[in-house]
Amino acid sequence: MNTFDTGTIGFMLLATSLVMLMTPGLAFFYGGLAGKRNILGIMIQSFVSMGITTIMWFICGYSLCFSGDAMGGIIGNLDKAFMSGVDLNTPFPMNHHMPEFVFIAYQMMFAIITPALITGAFVNRVTFKSYLLFLVLWQVLVYYPFEHMVWGGGLLARWGVLDFAGGIVVHATAGFAALASVIYVGKRRDVASPPNSIPLIAIGTGLLWFGWYGFNAGSALDVNSITGLAFLNTDVAASFAAITWLVIEWSMAKKPKFVGLLTGAVAGLATITPAAGFVSLPSAVMIGIAAGIVCYLAVHLKNKMGWDDALDVWGVHGIGGVLGTILLGVFASKAMNATGADGLMLGGTHFFAKQVIAVAGASLYAFLFTYIMLYLINLVTPVRVTVEHEDAGLDTALHGEKAYDEGAL
């Protein structure tokens, strides 16, 4: 006889729905930032992940992340492939108040959005066929191992590394994969391509911010005070980061930039993610301010280095994930969450060192494997689009569609 709690199930299904909404939100965010001829090309890359990743999750993804242990704790096994052994009454091992089906659905939404984050880096330069291969291979070779190592009871979890909602698993891996993609694929022919719709960016940011409450608060995997802490820390960090970015850019450009405010908010959301349920509210304030400063400087460095990360995936998500994971090592407190750890501020030197080593290793792994993966994919099908297709825009060249019927305007 199960002891499932309808309140817990209801909350987790709501959190799952919120995280699902983040992928369309990301599509709007990137779609607004892209040039006018590449709106659909970037948006379809987010939406297609919802289909392909779900199929992969059912076939083997969930099992490789959360079933058993293989290769010394680097990856799971295939015991739960095709959801074998999971039925209506199977409880989730970490919280018997909800069925495992709910956890399967929740974690699937994380798997969907993570590779989609990378796409903003190589907007209007990558063929759709090569992206589909990349979507499959990247999850199997990068995302699944780190999800297992950190959240599936694998190597890093046993070592004592913490990541509340995805600083290592989601943002650091995706961000440094984005940097590898930029370096491999090369620059756009039209680097100065401006955003086509700032209102669309704002809609996307609003959906991401809204969905992030499910992303972070839902990662408590229960309904308790930690859930509330993660929720509030998420909003506070995003707000402080947004205003910090706005002030810095205002002082530099002499005008308050709306896109800067929106980008700062996303940087704050990414940075608080690994720490949301492990740190105090004042620590979340400090993390938000640090996110606004450091991620802004990272974007400035990217421009100085000439890396054509079109939509600043590395500077916002990659550096945000790394910074948040390191600051978790600084500010973590068992007084806030007894299942966590004490960070550097409370004498947790070893925990701090583990966080730094883990996120550095994850970032390096994601960078190298992504670069190698793109090289191998290019042997099968061209990764970069032709000059003619790039000049025409991928919406018409690859997809035969236009975002706007200009003749009707």
Structural domain includes residue 230: yes
Please provide residue 91's backbone torsions phi and psi, each rounded to the nearest 5 degrees: -80, 150
- Domains in the chain: how many in total? 1
Instruction: Put residue 254 in one of left, alpha, beta given phi > 0 → left and psi -120 to 50 → alpha.
Output: left
- Structure tokens of 187? 């620059």
pTM over cut 0.85: yes
Q: Which residues have a Cβ under 8 Å from the Cβ of 134 and sit 6 or more positions away? A: 115, 126, 373, 374, 377
Q: Which residues have a Cβ under 8 Å from the Cβ of 153 and sit 6 or more positions away? A: 69, 73
Q: What is the CATH number of the domain that holds 291?
A: 1.10.3430.10
Structural domain includes residue 21: yes
Structural domain includes residue 402: no
Structural domain includes residue 219: yes
Structural domain includes residue 407: no
Instruction: Supply the pLDDT for residue 408.
Output: 54
Instruction: Supply the pLDDT for residue 192.
Output: 76
Instruction: Supply the pLDDT for residue 280.
Output: 98
Could you tell me if 252 and 59 are in contact, meaning their C-beta atoms sit under 8 angstroms apart?
no
Q: Give the C-alpha separation, 395 to 245, whole Å.
A: 32
Name the residue range of residue 42's domain: 6-383
Specify burial of residue 59 (Cβ count, 10 A radius: 0-12, 13-18, 19+). middle
Structural domain includes residue 395: no
Structural domain includes residue 396: no
Please provide residue 98's backbone torsions phi and psi, each rounded to the nearest 5 degrees: -140, 150
Name the residue among 8, 230, 235 with its Cα closest to residue 106. 8
Q: Give the C-alpha separation, 195 to 260, whole Å.
A: 12
Mean pLDDT in runs of 10 for the chain (409 residues)? Answer: 88 98 97 93 97 98 96 96 95 94 98 97 94 98 98 97 98 98 92 88 97 98 97 98 98 96 98 98 98 97 92 96 98 97 98 98 98 98 96 94 76
User: From the CB of residue 301, how many other CB atoms can be counted at a distance below 10 Å?
Assistant: 13
Structural domain includes residue 401: no
Q: Give the C-alpha separation, 404 to 409, whole Å.
A: 8
Name the residue among 235, 242, 315, 240 with its Cα closest to residue 276. 235
Q: Which H or E run contains 311? A: none
Amino acid at 24: P
Amino acid at 126: V
